Amino acid sequence: MADPIEVPLGEMIETLRQELQNAQRLGAGQDIAFEIDKVELELQVVVSRKRKADGKIAFWVVSAGGGLESGGETTHKFKLTLSPVSSRSGERLKVSGTPKQPLNRE
């Protein structure tokens, strides 16, 4: 089996942020908008303590099906729920801009 791919937790969340921003950009001007209430992620995370002078704890997201358990490193599963909001307005994100015209609800 291939070695699991480890991605820093912060990098994974930043990539998610970029994907949501890209979805907003692509949806701008569309007639149908999707409001994002929550983003739920189930992650398998490696927690390790580096044996350097600073002794920092690191969180790594492991690829699906990957597992690791060796000296000083164990995997944990947890659920992360995010509520994405605009940093400018504080409002929930929409994956679209304002519709050009109201939807016809006949």
Condensed to tens digits (0 to 9), the pLDDT of residues 45-81 reads: 777 766 665 667 777 787 655 454 445 566 777 788 8
- Mean pLDDT calculated for residue range 26-53: 80
Q: How many Cα neighbours within 13 Å face the side chain of 61?
A: 17
Q: Please determine, for residue 7, whether its predicted confidence score (pLDDT) is greater than 50.
A: yes
Three-state DSSP at 92 gives strand
Per-residue model confidence (pLDDT) at position 68: 47
Tell me the backbone φ, ψ of residue 92, rounded to 5 degrees: -60, 150
